[in-house]
């Protein structure tokens, strides 16, 4: 009986480790973007068919499934939590324009992106800015959830009462916007 409780506790610990501790140890724990905000993000990014949309830390992938279907775009999510990865990878089998990658997004090349969506803690921004600045092409849109980049003026801000604020940046190489 004791070993049964131990097993349950161990499983709970594994789930918490996957959803909170692992991501938190890296760039952010899991906290999904709200469904009601998906279209706001699409509007801010001015999504058009054929675009390539990345989510750095894809979580459960819900925003990717929704946007790829509604806006006819290709979406790539990169996630390091095994549980979230497996869940979204399995679901992606039913969506032909969604690709889910496993691992640390710092190891992935983002040069083909048209839009990069970021919902991470600001502690990661300095390192992230270097990567975005060196890899993203001119005109790529970066959307930040909640916290803006320091010292850089967003091209557009989407604000709504009692809701999260989203910040749009557009890569301009000659001005070194990041």
Ligand X SMILES: C[S@@+](CC[C@H](N)C(=O)[O-])C[C@H]1O[C@@H](n2cnc3c(N)ncnc32)[C@H](O)[C@@H]1O
In DSSP notation, 69-137 reads HHH--EEEEEE--HHHHHHHHHHHTT-TTEEEEES-GGGS--TT-SEEEE---GGGHHHHHHHHHHHPP
Q: Which of 107, 119, 148 is nearest to 37 (CA)?
A: 119
**Considering the rule CB under 6 A, would residue 33 count as an interface residue with ligand X?**
yes
Q: Residue 111 has what DSSP assignment?
A: T
Task: List strand residue ranges (DSSP E) for 6-73, in order.
Answer: 52-56
Of these, 9, 14, 21, 32, which contacts ligand X (CB under 6 A)? 32
Name the phi and psi angles at 81, rounded to 5. -80, 120
Interface size with ligand X, residues (CB under 6 A): 24
The window from 40-48, 72-80, 132-140, 168-176 that contacts ligand X (CB under 6 A) reads 72-80
45/55 with CB nearer ligand X: 55
Least separation in angstroms between residue 178's CB and ligand X is 18
Binders of ligand X in range 76-95 (CB under 6 A): 78-81, 84
Of these, 23, 42, 88, 154, which contacts ligand X (CB under 6 A)? 23
**Considering the rule CB under 6 A, would residue 26 count as an interface residue with ligand X?**
yes
String of contacts with ligand X for each residue 97-136, x by CB under 6 A: -------xxx------------xx----------------
**Collapsed DSSP state (helix, strand, coil) of residue 144:** strand
Of these, 17, 31, 95, 131, which contacts ligand X (CB under 6 A)? 31
Q: Which of 110, 178, 173 is nearest to 138 (CA)?
A: 173
30/97 with CB nearer ligand X: 30
**Considering the rule CB under 6 A, would residue 57 count as an interface residue with ligand X?**
yes
CB 40 within 8 A of CB 168: no
Q: Find the residue with minimal CB distance to ligand X.
A: 57
Q: Could you report how far apart the first and last alpha carbons of the chain are, in Å?
A: 57
Q: What residue ranges bind ligand X (CB under 6 A)?
A: 22-23, 26-28, 30-33, 55, 57-59, 63, 78-81, 84, 104-106, 119-120
């Amino acid at each position: 009986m004791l070993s049964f409780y131990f097993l349950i506790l161990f499983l709970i610990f594994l789930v918490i480790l996957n959803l909170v501790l692992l991501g938190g140890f890296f760039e952010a724990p899991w906290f999904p973007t709200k469904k009601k905000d998906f279209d706001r993000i699409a509007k801010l990014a001015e999504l058009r068919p054929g675009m390539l949309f990345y989510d750095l830390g894809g979580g459960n992938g819900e925003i990717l499934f929704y946007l790829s279907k509604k806006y006819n775009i290709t979406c790539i999510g990169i996630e390091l939590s095994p549980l979230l990865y497996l869940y979204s990878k399995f679901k992606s089998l039913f969506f032909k324009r969604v690709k889910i990658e496993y691992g640390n997004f710092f190891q992935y090349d983002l040069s083909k992106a048209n839009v990069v969506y970021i919902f991470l803690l600001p502690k990661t921004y300095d390192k992230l800015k270097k990567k975005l600045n060196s890899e993203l092409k001119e005109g790529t849109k970066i959307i930040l959830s909640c916290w803006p980049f320091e010292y850089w003026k967003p091209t557009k801000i989407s604000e709504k009462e009692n809701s999260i604020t989203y910040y749009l940046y557009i890569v301009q190489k000659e001005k070194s916007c990041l």
